[in-house]
Amino acid sequence: MGVSEDTRTDGEAGMRNGETDRPITLAGTRLGQYRHVCAFFHTRDEEYRVFLPFIKEGLSYGEKAFHIVDPTLRRDHIDRLAAAGVDVAAAEQSGQLELRTWQEAYLRGGHFDQAAMLALIEEVLIDGQRSGFPLTRLVAHMEWALEDRPGVDDLVEYETRLNYILPKYRDPVL
C-alpha cells in the first residue's frame, strides 16, 4: 500500500523485532500492519457496535484507550462504555482511559492546527509507552470536520501526514 515499514509482512498483526502482539480485532477482523483506519457509519448505534468490542478488547489487555469525542456527546460516549461493562470511573482514574473533547484536541485555541495535532498524536502514543501500556488504541470522532471550522481545510493534509508518523508505532488509530 506504499506505507514504508521495515517490518516483515506476515499477513497478520505485525510481529516486530521479536515482539509478539496481542491481536487487535476490529469489526470482527484482525488488524494487520496498517493501523490508520477510517470508519464510516450511518448511525451511532452502528458505530458503537464496531467500536465497543475493539475498545473493550484493548482494555482487557491492559492497553491504553485514548478517545476524542464531540463535547455534546461526551456523556453519551461514557454511558455507552458503561453499558458495555466498562468501569469508566476506575479506568479514567487509573489513566487507562483518557477522554478528550474536540476542544481539548483538534480544536485547541478554537481552530484546527495540523502541526499541533500531529504533535499531540505522537505525544499520546509515546506517553502510552512511557506509562507502561503495551499499546494505545486511539479512537477519534471527526464529525467536526463536516462543520465550517477555522483550519478545517488543513485536515486532509494532516491525515496524510499522519501516515509518516503512525508506521513508527504499533498503535491503532481510528
Partner 1 sequence: MDILRTHPMAVIAGVLQENPFFIPPDEFLRELRARAGNGNDS
The residues that touch partner 1, with contacts defined as CB under 8 A, are 1-3, 26-29, 31, 34-40, 46, 49-50, 142, 145, 153, 155-157, 159-164
| Extended beta strands in 43-174, E state | 64-69, 97-101, 136-140
What residue type is assigned to position 71 of the chain? P
| 52 or 88: CB nearest partner 1 | 52
Give the DSSP H/E element, type plus range, for residue 157. Answer: helix 155-165
| 3 or 82: CB nearest partner 1 | 3
CB of 171 to partner 1, least distance (A): 13
| 87 or 154: CB nearest partner 1 | 154
CA of 132: how far to CAs of 56, 67, 86, 168, in Å?
18, 18, 20, 18
CB of 1 to partner 1, least distance (A): 5
| Partners of residue 26 on adjacent β-strands | 29
Separation CA 114–CA 62 (nearest Å): 30
CB of 19 to partner 1, least distance (A): 21
CB of 99 to partner 1, least distance (A): 21
| 10 or 157: CB nearest partner 1 | 157
CB of 43 to partner 1, least distance (A): 11
Do 22 and 134 touch, CB atoms closer than 8 A? Answer: yes
Separation CA 21–CA 37 (nearest Å): 18
| 131 or 153: CB nearest partner 1 | 153
